[in-house]
A and B are shown apart, each in its own frame.
Chain A
Amino acid sequence: MSAVPDIEISRTTEAEVDHFAEAEILSKRHAVGKIWRVVFASSTLVGIIALTALLLNIINSAFGYVAFENTIQPEQLAISGVSIEEMSREDLVIVLGNHVSQGLMRRFEDEMPWEERTREDVYDLVQERVVKPTTVAQWSLYQSLFKVDEIRQEIAEKYRGADVIFKSWITVDFITSPQSSNALIAGVRTAILGSLWTILIAISFSFPIGVGAAIYLQEYAKDNFINRIIQTNLNNLAGVPSIIYGILGLALFVRTLNQFTSGAVFGYADPMTANGRTILSAGLTLGLLILPLIIINAQEAIKAVPNSLREASYGMGATRWQTVWNHVLPSALPGILTGTILAISRAIGETAPLVVVGASTFITFDPTGPFSKFTTLPIQIYQWTSRPQDVFRNIAAGAIIVLLVMLLSMNAFAVLLRNRYSRRI
């Protein structure tokens, strides 16, 4: 073995070191670093400004003064001094009967007998059908806070008879009321339930299939040409525009599998949904949309399980299935769940594919099962913002806040779930 070769190391004596030049180089190195720091910080700032603008814009529309006029003033409906707020259910039915046609009363009765209706239900009907409040003007939160005088002046000039209140467009009533053509009493209950139903179907369809495929690709599949093609295509599928999935859903679930998605094969025949434009079609379409996402996320989670764990298991004579089921999957579970919830968040916000699959833009009754017609929150928002009346912009802002809260709580749930499972290990 050769000895260490003699390498000439040029030695610089203390006197030869140019301290001044070194200091200059150092300050140049720091300067470059500072420039990049500013660049990175300003990128972050642009993002923050954009987000803040979005949130402010929504909040600006979601609160503010409203001027509305009633077709019939509630005071005029009082029976012997008792206002409609304090009336019993029976009296409210009488008030309603006095002001709407008998045909309409019979329709209400057919939908649900008066005895079964709650007082609030009848009160809402009186509001909707008799009092009929209609907004004549509304102002943004900014105007309501800082330009009160101008609003007063405007009301005095143009809307003399109108009632003016400061209204939060997002209220408990807004969340629990069904859709209505009257913005003042419209709510998002139908849309929330529609969203939950479609997500439930999407996830029960794509979670087992997605995780199963991920396990196969990661733990069983050999690294050969076909599997590499499958992998590449999966990655591409995750980036396909969602409207394409909508068209696929339309062709596959609405048209081809019409008998199945409309529930006809299960003996469920509703002429209104027999064309297959049901919650089931929408859920399966969203399921297809998030399937590649779930597969890729689950694959990443499985890939992140250290190989030493697999070796430990195989090394003591465990089979592949025992290794996967008892060691790999439990370790990968937090990652799989996080990825799945993020995929669900994506699905909740999807609009385009549902428009294609045939979401109803206006339904007032709640979905009752997978074969119901449906609308979802994003569809509702889209529909409201495209209305000509300004006031629908305000309730759209309210619905956007509901959607954002739903998304944020799902993501928070994902984080909690991950922390909980990772701590257990």
Chain B
Amino acid sequence: MASFNPESSNGRYAIEAKDLNLYYGDFRAVKDANMKLERNKITAIIGPSGCGKSTILRSLNRMNELIPIYHATGEVIFNGININDADIDPVEVRRHIGMVFQKPNPFPKSIYENIAWGARKVTQYKGKMDDLVEHSLRQAALWDEVKDILDQSGLALSGGQQQRLCIARALAVKPNVILMDEPASALDPIATLRIEELIQELKENYTIIIVTHNMQQAARASDFTAFFNMDDDRAGYLVEYDVTSKVFTNPEKRLTEDYISGRFG
């Protein structure tokens, strides 16, 4: 079985999608997506509802395969390996490409256990667990708020804190890439801002791909923006993909301009 070597990950692109087509049964949800996602950058995926933003995000770590009728064709190259290959174990993929979800979903365990569980069971971390927990929580800018209540349930935290706990939990298994599926859509503006600041700090060490409904968020917080739209056959397709400042100030396509100026979507 092919395995991933994070040390070898020094190319320019963290993930490349080649001719990616994603299906739910007979329905094609995303067609012919080709993207090269830059390492240690934040890439935002925007587009109207139903254009397949989440589907493409979840295809990047094979999360979507939990849906029985889903299948994908085309390649997703991660560290030189096509993770869509039949002999690649999706469990291994997800361990290297972590995920943060729309609704904060901490485990119904203590804050400490939320972080420690993945390290213990997934990466079988052998070092000092206390240090790892502190490090992960510090990385997620949550340590100061929870250092005295580590044994309390993760569900007792506020929504924004829960989402940062989920980010810390994802960091604890030391992934290369973190996929974020509208991570701030369930949060208030202040909590949203904190998440955005956090993402900026995290890009030092991680490649971040974020799906967002919020165009201001994409403009504020991302380096690259990919705009997807829904075609007449309801399949999503990539309209434009470029540096964020270019997409938002001087897009090449008329459709992109219409969308970001709020004329549809």
Q: Does A18 contact B (CB under 8 A)?
A: no
- Are the C-beta atoms of A308 and B68 separated by less than 8 Å? no
Q: How close is B103's CB to chain A, nearest CB, in angstroms? A: 6
- Are the C-beta atoms of B94 and A317 separated by less than 8 Å? yes
Q: Does B117 contact A (CB under 8 A)?
A: yes
A-B residue pair count with CB separations less than 8 angstroms: 72
CA distance A1 to B265 in the complex (A): 10
Q: How close is A325's CB to chain B, nearest CB, in angstroms? A: 10
- Are the C-beta atoms of B118 and A317 separated by less than 8 Å? yes
CA distance A314 to B98 in the complex (A): 9
Complex interface residues of chain A between 275 and 317 (CB less than 8 A to chain B): 306, 308-317
The 8 Å CB contact of A316, one of B103, B118, B153, is B118
Complex interface residues of chain B between 76 and 109 (CB less than 8 A to chain A): 91-96, 98-101, 103, 105-108
B169 contacts which chain A residues (CB < 8 A)? 312, 316
Interface size bracket, A side: 20 to 34
A314 contacts which chain B residues (CB < 8 A)? 63, 66, 91, 94
Q: How close is A422's CB to chain B, nearest CB, in angstroms? A: 10
Complex interface residues of chain B between 120 and 142 (CB less than 8 A to chain A): 121-123
Closest to B119 in A: A316
- Are the C-beta atoms of B68 and A315 separated by less than 8 Å? no
Q: Does A319 contact B (CB under 8 A)?
A: yes
Contact flags A325-365 to B (C-beta < 8 A → 1, else 0): 01100110000000000000000000000000000000000
CA distance A306 to B106 in the complex (A): 12
Closest to A222 in B: B68
- Are the C-beta atoms of B264 and A1 separated by less than 8 Å? yes
Q: How close is B79's CB to chain A, nearest CB, in angstroms? A: 15
Q: Does B170 contact A (CB under 8 A)?
A: yes
CA distance A312 to B98 in the complex (A): 10
- Are the C-beta atoms of A318 and B108 separated by less than 8 Å? no
A331 contacts which chain B residues (CB < 8 A)? 108
Q: Does A322 contact B (CB under 8 A)?
A: yes
Q: Does B155 contact A (CB under 8 A)?
A: yes
The 8 Å CB contact of A425, one of B99, B122, B155, B258, is B155
Q: Does B166 contact A (CB under 8 A)?
A: yes
Closest to A224 in B: B68
Q: Does B184 contact A (CB under 8 A)?
A: no
Q: How close is A424's CB to chain B, nearest CB, in angstroms? A: 8
Q: Does A223 contact B (CB under 8 A)?
A: yes
CA distance A309 to B103 in the complex (A): 11
**What are 29 of the A-B contact pairs (CB < 8 Å)?**
A222-B68, A308-B103, A312-B101, A312-B105, A312-B107, A312-B166, A314-B63, A314-B94, A315-B61, A315-B63, A315-B98, A315-B101, A315-B170, A316-B118, A316-B122, A316-B170, A317-B91, A317-B93, A317-B94, A317-B98, A317-B122, A317-B123, A318-B91, A318-B121, A318-B122, A319-B91, A322-B121, A322-B122, A331-B108
- A interface with B by C-beta (< 8 Å): 1, 222-223, 306, 308-319, 322, 326-327, 330-331, 425
The 5 residue pairs across chains A and B that have the minimum distance between CB atoms: A317-B95, A315-B99, A308-B105, A425-B108, A317-B94
Q: A312-B101, A318-B121 are in contact. List 7 more A-B contacts (CB 8 A).
A: A309-B107, A311-B66, A312-B166, A313-B107, A315-B99, A317-B118, A326-B117
